[in-house]
Structures are given as C-alpha cells and as structure tokens.
C-alpha cells in the first residue's frame, strides 16, 4: 500500500515507521521543515522513543519511508491517509482549538483521490468525525464519503517512550461511518500492525470494530477520563488521610487487594498530552458530567496543595530558596506537556520563593527556554526546601547530602527514601506528616 501519515510528531513518526516496517510505501507530511529534513536523513527528531532511531534509519535506507511538507506529494493515490495532528484545548475556557486540525484536513482534502481510507487517530470530542471532518472533506474534495472515500476514527492508545510495544499490546479500536468503511479500516490496520497474544482480554487481541465513529471516539475519552477521575479520587483520599494521621498508601494497597478496587496513586500533578486534556474534550460534549469536572479541578489543585505543605513545614516562603526536582511530567520521559513543574513553580514564586529546577533529562539551556532556572546538585549552593515533582529513578537515591542546607522535603511522588534524608523534615503526599507540615 501507499500510506500518507499527516504530522510526524511523537506518535505520528513511530506510526509511519511501523507501517513502513510491514513493507508499505509511507510518505510523512509535516509543516516543520527541520523535522522533514531529519526524517529524510534517517535521524530521529526527538530522542527518547525506544527503538525509533534504528527502525527509522532502516526504513529510510530501504526507501520505504520519506517525508515532505507538500500534501500534494503524499496524499494523491494513497490507499490510506492517517491523521495524527495535535488538537489543543484552551487553558482558560477548556474549549478545543481545531485550528491545526482544520488546516490539515482542508489540505489533505484538496489532494484526496477516490478510493482512499482516511483515518483520524488524534483524540476527538464525540461526534467530530461525522459532523466536522466528513462535511469538511466532502466540501473541499468534491468527493462523497462512503462512495468515493471512507472516513474512520481509530484512536492512538500508546505512551511516548514505548509506542512500538504499546502498538502490539493494545487492541486497535476502529469506528466507521458505514460497514464498508469499517471493513476497509479492519483490513488496513491488520496489514500494518502486529498484536501480542492477550489471554486476559475478553476476545482476541487485534482490530476491534466498535460499530460507529462515535463509539470509538468515546472509548478513547472514557479510558483516559477514567484515569483522571480515579487519580482525583486518590488525591482527595490522600488529603483527608494526611490530615487525620493515616497513611493513604497503606489504605490503597489494602483496598486494592480486593479485586473490585483499582484505586490509582495520588500525586502532586497530572501531566502529559492525554490525561489533563481529554476530560476537557469529554466535558465539551457532556457539560453535565459533574464527576469529571470535579476530578479535573481536584487534580489541578494538587500543585498548590503541595506548596502549602512546604510552607506549613518550613514557614514563610518569602525569600526562601526552593528546589523543584523534575521538569518532566513523569519519570524517565523527556516531555513537559502540562507538567506539574509549571504550576508548582508559579505557586512558589507567588509565595515569594526563589525557585530552582533540576531534571536529569534537561540541560540548563533547555530549562531556561522553559522559563525555569536550572540547579546542579552539589554545585549551586544551599537551598531551604525541596519539592519532588517528577518520579525520575535518579531521585530514589538522592539525599540530603546532595542538597546542602535543605530543611524540608516535600515528596509529591513517594519516591524518596527516608534514610537518605536524615535530619530533614520529610513530608510525603498522602502520608501523615510531622507537626507543622499541614498546608498553610
């Protein structure tokens, strides 16, 4: 097959490489000239994705993958066009911003030829495929969906850093606008993906047709919104438990020993491209989902709560030097999308603190570009307090000797070891803290 992949980001490029690895002719489209040049040189634009570099280099060298900025070079004659363009959500209004996706859809529609399967993998509000993309593509292309081309929604369900493994592990969900489109989508994804055996699933791993685009759209929103709601509940449990001298981690471990309980871990922040964003997309079409809204608000309040824990244990933060450990939104991943580092730093600065940030994955210049002041452990002098924001494995072995002068540690991820912080007031989110460690 000839396949076009629109947007060569942290999901789109691994998808393009995967499709090429199955022997297909893949052309990737991206608006960033630098990304296109790097891909054509066989060089990954964003290091950190397992096995991407070697697989990309192999696909380019074999002539099965190339990149372009020109839709006219990629889309005409394609058997399938897979769209992975980002969809943004306004922080203030929680409304989706379709700007980039609209532009990409119109551009591909201008060059669409009969017989093509168009599959959107970007997470969307329920109804978007049918009510926004279909009429837009039909209007621009002059073609008729269901007759000249087929439109489906098939959500990406992978995590950056382990995309290739996740593509094999999870069923590929598809939802079409008609039975022929569903069959085309099933045949396409079976030809470009491999699936691990999953005896734990109710049916065989592979391509799962959900019967409609709306069902597939909702499935992606449901699985991610569930996690946000679950974490929100865990965070509320953590705040209550700590205030009443209870270790919430022991409570959760005990609760989850019963097979009907699956409480997640509490934490200082919920970050990444998915969990903080997709509940807002769900709320856009279901504004009465009060549970979803409350959980999102509860999770958004956790960075300020953690700063309150620090202030309660340390005293006034005005003029204090505070080190935040972790710029990334989660451990081991070089990504700051919706990272808790930003609200934590904002809350600390609002309290008058001088804020420094350390992250083993980022250079001082990279942190500066994010508006953060870098700190090198053992080099940049004493600090008064430390806040653990990301659970990088390096922080499990970090201790008071690495951070001169530290008096209070607030561990927002439960990763530090108490024996390494002797003489420091250590407050772990969800555990009963020492006297004076309640949020101020």
Q: Each residue of 249-285: pLDDT tens digit?
A: 999 999 999 999 999 999 999 998 899 999 999 999 9
Contact 185, 178 (CB under 8 A): no
What's the pLDDT at 436?
A: 45
Contact 424, 409 (CB under 8 A): yes
Domain boundaries along the sequence of the chain: 2-210, 221-300, 302-428
The list of the chain residues with pLDDT below 70 reads 378, 434-440
What's the pLDDT at 225?
A: 97
Give the 3-state secondary structure of residue 209: strand
What's the pLDDT at 97?
A: 95
Contact 391, 265 (CB under 8 A): no
**Intrachain domains 2-210 and 302-428 with the same fold:** yes
What's the pLDDT at 438?
A: 60
Q: Which of 10, 172, 274, 334 is catalytic?
A: 274
What's the pLDDT at 435?
A: 47
Can you list the positions of beta strands (E) in 181-226?
207-209
Distances, alpha carbon 333 to alpha carbons 37, 50, 88, in Å: 24, 11, 21
CA dihedral 306, 311, 312, 316 (to 10 degrees): -170
Q: Which of 172, 220, 250, 334 is catalytic?
A: 220
Tell me whether residue 220 is one of the annotated catalytic residues. Answer: yes
The position carrying tokens 């989110």 is: 429
Q: Topology of 302-428 in CATH?
A: Rossmann fold (3.40.50)
Contact 385, 323 (CB under 8 A): yes
Closest CA to 219 of 170, 259, 254: 170
Q: What is the CA radius of gyration of the chain?
A: 24
What's the pLDDT at 288?
A: 96
Contact 175, 210 (CB under 8 A): yes
pLDDT in tens, 167-202: 999 999 999 999 999 999 999 999 999 999 999 999
Closest CA to 207 of 255, 161, 149, 168: 168
Tell me whether residue 172 is one of the annotated catalytic residues. Answer: no
CATH code for the structural domain at 2-210? 3.40.50.720
Residue partners of 381: CB distance under 8 A and separation at least 6 = 321, 404, 405
Token representation of residue 192: 């470009």
Note the pTM of the prediction, 2 decimals.
0.91
Give me the half-sphere count of Cα atoms (radius 13 Å) on the Cβ side of residue 174.
Answer: 27
Contact 252, 231 (CB under 8 A): no
CATH code for the structural domain at 221-300? 1.10.1040.10
Cα separation, 276 vs 112, whole angstroms:
34
Cα separation, 95 vs 282, whole angstroms:
10
The position carrying tokens 């790097």 is: 38
Q: Where are the alpha helices (DSSP H) in 126-178?
A: 128, 134-141, 163-169
- Residue 98: what are its φ and ψ, rounded to 5°? -85, 10
Identify any residues that bridge with 325 across adjacent strands, giving them in sequence order. 358, 388
What's the pLDDT at 28?
A: 98
- Residue 233: what are its φ and ψ, rounded to 5°? -65, -45
Token representation of residue 377: 């452990």
Distances, alpha carbon 194 to alpha carbons 13, 91, 157, 172, in Å: 17, 37, 15, 10
């Amino acid at each position: 097959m000839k396949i076009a992949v629109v947007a060569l980001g942290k999901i789109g490029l691994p998808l393009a490489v995967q499709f090429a690895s199955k022997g297909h002719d893949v052309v990737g489209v991206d608006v960033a000239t630098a990304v296109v040049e790097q891909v054509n040189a066989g060089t990954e634009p964003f290091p950190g994705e397992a096995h991407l570099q070697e697989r990309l280099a192999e696909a380019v060298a074999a002539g099965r993958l190339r990149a372009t900025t020109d839709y006219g070079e990629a889309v005409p004659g394609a058997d399938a066009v897979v769209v992975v363009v980002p969809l943004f959500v306004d922080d203030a209004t929680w409304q989706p911003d379709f700007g980039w996706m609209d532009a990409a859809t119109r551009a591909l529609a201008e060059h669409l030829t009969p017989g093509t399967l168009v599959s959107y993998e970007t997470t969307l509000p329920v109804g978007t495929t049918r009510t926004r993309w279909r009429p837009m593509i039909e209007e621009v292309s002059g073609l008729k969906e269901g007759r000249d081309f087929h439109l489906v929604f098939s959500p990406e369900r992978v995590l950056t850093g382990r995309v290739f493994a996740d593509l094999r592990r999870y069923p590929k969900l598809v939802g079409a606008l008609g039975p022929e489109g569903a069959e085309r989508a099933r045949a396409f994804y079976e030809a470009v993906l491999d699936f691990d055996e999953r005896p734990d699933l109710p049916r065989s791993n592979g391509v799962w047709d959900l019967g409609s685009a709306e069902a597939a759209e909702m499935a992606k929103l449901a699985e991610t919104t569930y996690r946000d709601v679950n974490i929100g509940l865990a965070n509320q449990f953590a705040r209550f438990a700590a205030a009443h001298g209870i270790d919430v981690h022991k409570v959760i471990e005990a609760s989850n020993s019963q097979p009907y309980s699956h409480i997640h871990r509490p934490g200082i922040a919920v970050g990444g491209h998915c969990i903080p964003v997709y509940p807002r997309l769900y709320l856009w079409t279901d504004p009465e989902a009060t549970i979803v809204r409350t959980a999102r608000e509860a999770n958004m309040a956790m960075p300020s709560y953690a700063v309150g824990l620090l202030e309660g244990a340390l005293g006034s933060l005005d003029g204090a030097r505070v080190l935040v450990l972790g710029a990334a939104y989660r451990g081991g991943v070089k990504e700051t999308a919706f990272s808790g580092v930003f609200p934590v730093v904002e809350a600390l600065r609002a309290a008058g603190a001088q804020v420094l940030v350390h992250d083993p994955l980022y250079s001082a210049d990279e942190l500066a570009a994010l508006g953060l002041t870098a700190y090198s452990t053992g080099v940049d002098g004493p600090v008064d307090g430390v806040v653990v924001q990301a659970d990088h494995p390096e922080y499990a072995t970090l201790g008071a000797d690495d951070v001169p002068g530290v008096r209070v540690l607030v561990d927002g991820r439960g990763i530090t070891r108490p024996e390494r912080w002797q003489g420091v007031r250590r407050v772990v989110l969800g555990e009963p803290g020492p006297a004076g460690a309640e949020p101020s």
